[in-house]
Structure 1
Amino acid sequence: MIKEKINVLLIENNPADIRLIKYNIQKIVPLAVFKVSNDLSEIKELLYDFLPNIIFCDYHLDGFSGLEVLDFLKKSKYRAPLIFITGQIHDEELAADTILAGASGYILKKDMKILYKKLLPYFDRLHDNLFLSKIEMNELHKQHKELMEKLKDLIEENNYYKKVIEDNSDKRSQ
Structure 2
Amino acid sequence: MLQKKLKILLIENNKIEIIKFKRAISSDFSDFTIFVANNGSEAVSLLENSFPDIILLDLNMPETNGIEFLKMVKNNSNLNHIPIVVLTTSSNIKDIQECYKLGVASYVLKSLKYEDYKLEVNAIIKYWSLNEFIEK
What is the TM-score of this pair, normalised by structure 2? 0.81
Higher helix share: 1
State the Cα distance separating 1:112 from its structure 2 match: 4.8
Which residue of 110, 115, 122 corresponds with 1:120? Answer: 122
State the Cα distance separating 1:25 from its structure 2 match: 1.9
Tell me the equivalent position of 1:65.
65
Unaligned runs of 5+ in 2: none
Tell me the equivalent position of 1:129.
132
Q: Secondary structure at the match of 1:83?
A: strand
Tell me the equivalent position of 2:99.
98
Is the 1:3–1:30 contact (alpha carbons within 8 Å) kept by the matching residues of 2?
Answer: no
Number of residue pairs matched?
Answer: 131
State the Cα distance separating 1:21 from its structure 2 match: 0.9
How many Å separate the matches in 2 of 1:124 and 1:110? Answer: 18
Tell me the equivalent position of 1:81.
83
CA RMSD of the aligned region, Å?
Answer: 2.2
How many Å separate the matches in 1 of 2:10 and 2:113? Answer: 15
Unaligned runs of 5+ in 1: 136-174
How many Å separate the matches in 1 of 2:23 and 2:60? Answer: 22
Q: 1:111 to 1:104 in 2, by over 3 A?
A: farther
Read off the aligned partner of 1:86 and give its amino acid letter: T
Q: 1:112 to 1:45 in 2, by over 3 A?
A: farther
Q: Secondary structure at the match of 2:5?
A: coil
State the Cα distance separating 1:4 from its structure 2 match: 3.6
Q: Which gives a bigger RCO, structure 1 or 2 (Cα 8 Å, sep 6+)?
A: 2
Higher strand share: 2
What is the TM-score of this pair, normalised by structure 1? 0.65
